[in-house]
Amino acid sequence: MPRIPIVTNGIYRSIEHRATVDTEKERLSIATFYNPNVDAQIGPVNSLITEETPALYRTLECQEYFKGLFGRKLDGKAYIDAMKLDSAEH
């Protein structure tokens, strides 16, 4: 599942899920997941890329994205940082 900031080119950000108990009010949480086709491209949506808002993240085939995500060393950095384009690549 690609992170929301990659697909939305940083316009929408994922939030950390936190829940608190409210004894007065009922709460319902629904988790949703999506898995693109392995041949799909993972990257910012084309309609969000303009001269004013250039791509912030690279585009990869889905299988390459997951290879990088699951094959990386745990060096303290998030994989989303590896997906960011350098300013010279814009």
Full pLDDT tens readout for the chain, 90 residues: 557 788 899 887 766 666 677 888 887 777 666 677 888 899 999 999 999 999 999 999 999 998 988 888 877 778 888 899 985 455
Q: Is 80 exposed, middle or buried (0-12, 13-18, 19+ CB in 10 A)?
A: middle
Contact (CB, 8 A) for 11 and 56: no
Joined tokens for residue 73: 């060393």
Contact (CB, 8 A) for 68 and 81: no
For the chain, give every domain's residue range.
Answer: 1-13+32-90
Alpha helical stretches, state H, the chain: 4-7, 62-71, 79-83
- Through-space distance between the first and last CA atoms of the chain, rounded to whole angstroms: 24
pTM: 0.69
